[in-house]
């Protein structure tokens, strides 16, 4: 990647076949639409003075190289603001059901509404199921793990059946009993900032698209 960057991270979906100083030697650049998640990550890295390169190996496996310039780390708050700015236009006008205890519906609701997200709220599992049965064409559902009760896996599978085209994000302390559903839901830790929930919504949207395919 030249002398411009202080270091680089190479990310791939499997072990590299060749060992050496440059594990992506001989790989070719990939052009075309990268998808919204890669686009957002690229914008954040670019804003910090870095670069994200999309390549692939001979088998077509995606390989990413992230160039990291020295001393360019963004302050945490600036990085969060950049991420929210990038995601805002994508989630604008989404219909989102926020299923959380009323006491937790504060900063997240404010952020979503500032981004022109149409927010509906449910503060119990009964209210959640009632909303889903109305067939509201929801773009995303954010579930607080506290509402899932003693059988969280069964509840998550039930809501996935009720609204299969929606993106599902579960917010809690640990994935636990629903860990094996990671192909269908995005899990975000309860103490993560709201921008991480936004990213979870985008990730879960991709999962929902795969369910429909």
pLDDT confidence bin for 7, thresholds 50/70/90: low
**Mean of pLDDT over the chain:** 78
Please check whether residues 140 and 185 belong to one and the same domain.
yes
Question: For the whole model, what pTM was predicted?
Answer: 0.64
pLDDT of residue 85: 77
Please check whether residues 88 and 13 belong to one and the same domain.
no
d(CA 196, CA 201): 9
Residue 100 DSSP symbol: S
Mark 147-166 as b/e (b = at least 16 C-beta within 10 Å). bbeeebeebbeebbebbeeb
Q: Where a domain ends, among 31, 50, 68?
A: 68
pLDDT of residue 53: 77
**Residue (of 111, 48, 106) closest to 78 by Cα position:** 48
**Does residue 2 form part of some domain?**
no
pLDDT confidence bin for 28, thresholds 50/70/90: low
Please check whether residues 133 and 173 belong to one and the same domain.
yes
- Residue linked to tokens 């449910």: 122
**Does residue 41 form part of some domain?**
yes
Please check whether residues 95 and 152 belong to one and the same domain.
yes
d(CA 98, CA 109): 8
**Does residue 12 form part of some domain?**
yes
Domain carrying residue 98: 77-212
For position 140, which CATH number holds? 3.40.50.2300
Q: Per DSSP, what are the bridge partners of residue 12?
A: 63
pLDDT of residue 137: 86
Give every CB contact of residue 116 below 8 A, 6+ residues apart in sequence.
92, 93
Question: In this predicted model, which residue has the larger pLDDT, 152 or 176?
Answer: 152
pLDDT of residue 206: 86
Please check whether residues 152 and 98 belong to one and the same domain.
yes
Please check whether residues 90 and 57 belong to one and the same domain.
no
Rounded percentage of the chain residues whose pLDDT exceeds 70: 68
Q: Where a domain ends, among 18, 43, 68?
A: 68
Question: What are the angstrom distances between the C-alpha of 158 and each of 15, 116, 121, 129, 154?
Answer: 37, 29, 19, 9, 6
Please check whether residues 85 and 187 belong to one and the same domain.
yes
Please check whether residues 117 and 27 belong to one and the same domain.
no
């Amino acid at each position: 990647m030249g002398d411009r960057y202080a270091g680089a991270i190479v990310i791939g979906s499997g072990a590299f076949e060749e060992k050496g100083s440059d594990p992506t030697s001989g790989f070719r650049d990939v052009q075309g639409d990268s998808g919204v998640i890669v686009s957002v990550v690229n914008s954040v890295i670019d804003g910090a003075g870095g670069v994200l390169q999309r390549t692939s190996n001979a088998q077509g496996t995606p390989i990413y190289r992230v160039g990291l310039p020295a001393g360019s780390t963004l302050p945490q708050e600036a990085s969060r603001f950049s991420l929210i700015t990038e995601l805002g236009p994508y989630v604008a006008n989404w219909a989102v059901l926020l299923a959380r205890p009323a006491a937790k519906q504060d900063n997240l609701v404010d952020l979503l509404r500032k981004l022109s997200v149409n927010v509906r709220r449910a503060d119990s599992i009964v209210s959640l199921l009632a909303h889903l049965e109305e067939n509201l064409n929801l773009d995303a559902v954010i579930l607080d793990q506290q509402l899932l009760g003693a059988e969280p896996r069964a509840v998550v599978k039930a809501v996935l059946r009720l609204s299969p085209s929606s993106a599902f994000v579960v917010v809690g302390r640990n994935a636990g009993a629903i860990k094996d559903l990671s192909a269908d839901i995005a899990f975000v830790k309860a103490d993560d900032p709201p921008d991480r929930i936004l990213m979870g919504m985008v990730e879960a949207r991709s999962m929902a698209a795969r369910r429909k395919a």
